[in-house]
A = this chain, B = another copy of it.
Amino acid sequence: MTFPKQVSIFEVGARDGLQNEKPVSTQDKIVLIQDLAKAGIKRIESASFVSPKWVPQMADSGEVLRNIKRAADVTYSALTPNLHGLELALDAKADEVAIFGAASESFSQRNINCSIQESIARFKPLMQRAKAENIRVRGYVSCVLGCPYEGEIDVSEVARVSEILYKMGCYEISLGDTIGVGTPNNARKMVQAVSQVVPVDKLALHFHDTYGQALANILACLETGVSVVDSSVAGLGGCPYAKGASGNLASEDLVYMLHGLGIDTGIDLTLLAQAGNKISQALGRQTGSKVAQALLS
C-alpha cells in the first residue's frame, strides 16, 4: 500500500457535529475551536449561516467567529447555503466558506427543497461574490456512496456534480458518505471515478461512521492519493437519518490510524482527545471516540 506522507484533517465537529447535538453555549464553542487549534488542527469549520429556524444550534455563528482568538495559520470556515449566508460570513470574517450539493436528486429535493440543477444555479451569485471578495469556497457533495431515499448512487452522478462544483470555482470538493453506508471497495472506486474529472489533490473524504466503516473506507481511499479527510472531534454529531446511530467519524480515531501508518498530520493526539472530552462533558455525553475512551481510562 502506498499512502500520502501527509494528511490534512478538516475538522467539522464545531459545525457538522454540534448542529446535530443538543445546544451548547457560545463560550463552549469558542473554547472548542480554540482547543482544536492548540491541538494542531489547521482547518476548522466553525460556523454555519443557515436559517436558525432550521438549525437553531448554529444561531450564534457570527458571535462565535467574532470572539474566537485566532491562530495565524488556522483557517476558520463557515457553511453558507446562499448569498445572504455568505454576507453574514463575510461580516464575521470567516476565512473561507462552503456550499453543499448532492449527488442524489431525491436528497437534494428533501434536504434543500430544489433539484440538483436548481441548487447549482442558486450557488452562482454566491460564487461570484466570493470571487470578488477573494474568499475561497469549498464544495460538499452529499450521498456519494448512497442515499437514504434512493439507495445506491451511480458514481458517474457523483463525478458529474463534483466536476460542476469544481468548475464553478470550488477549490476543493469534499465527498460525503452522508449516511455512512459505503464499504472500502466501492468507496475507492467512487474516488477513482471522481478523480478522472477533478484532480485528486482537490478532493477530500467526508465519510460518516454510521455503519462503522469510515476508517476502513478511508484506508482504502488513501491509496488513490487523496490526502484531505474531514472528521469530527469526539465523533460529535449523530445521524439525522438514523436516530441513535453514529454520524461523523471521530477525529481522534482517524489521527491514531494515520499516525500508526506513519502519516504526518501535525496534530497532538492527546490535546485533541482533551478537546473532545471537554466538549463531550459540556454536552453531558460520552465521547464518541474509541481512542479517547481508551486514553481516558
Contacts and interface: CB of A to CB of B under 8 A. Distances in A.
Contact of A297 (B242, B260, B294): B242
A220 to B, nearest CB: 7
A244 interface: yes
Interface in A22-49: none
Nearest to A262: B185
Contacts of A260: 182-186, 213
Interface of A: 1, 180, 182-186, 209-213, 215-216, 218-220, 239, 242-246, 250, 253, 256-257, 259-262, 289-291, 293-294, 296-297
A253 B211 contact: yes
Among A213, A216, A296, the one with the most B-chain Cβ atoms within 10 Å of its Cβ is A216
A216 to B, nearest CB: 4
A184 B257 contact: yes
Contacts of A220: 1, 219
Centre residue among A184, A210, A289 by max chain B CB count within 10 A: A184
A70 to B, nearest CB: 31
A276 to B, nearest CB: 13
Contacts of A218: 216
Given A183-B257, A220-B1, A256-B183, A245 B212 contact: no
Given A1-B220, A246-B290, A256 B184 contact: no
A291 B214 CA distance: 12
Given A182-B260, A261-B184, A213 B253 contact: yes
Contacts of A296: 244
Nearest to A244: B297
B243 A297 contact: yes
A37 to B, nearest CB: 24
Given A212-B257, A212-B289, A216-B218, 5 more contacts: A183-B257, A212-B256, A216-B216, A242-B294, A244-B293
Contact of A1 (B185, B239, B242): B185
Given A239-B294, A244-B296, A260-B186, A250 B215 contact: no
Contact of A253 (B212, B257, B289, B293): B212
Nearest to A210: B294
A245 B245 CA distance: 18
Nearest to A179: B294
A242 B1 CA distance: 31
A213 B211 contact: no
Contacts of A239: 294, 297
A257 B216 contact: yes
Most chain B beta carbons < 10 A, residue from A182, A257, A294: A294
A1 B195 CA distance: 19
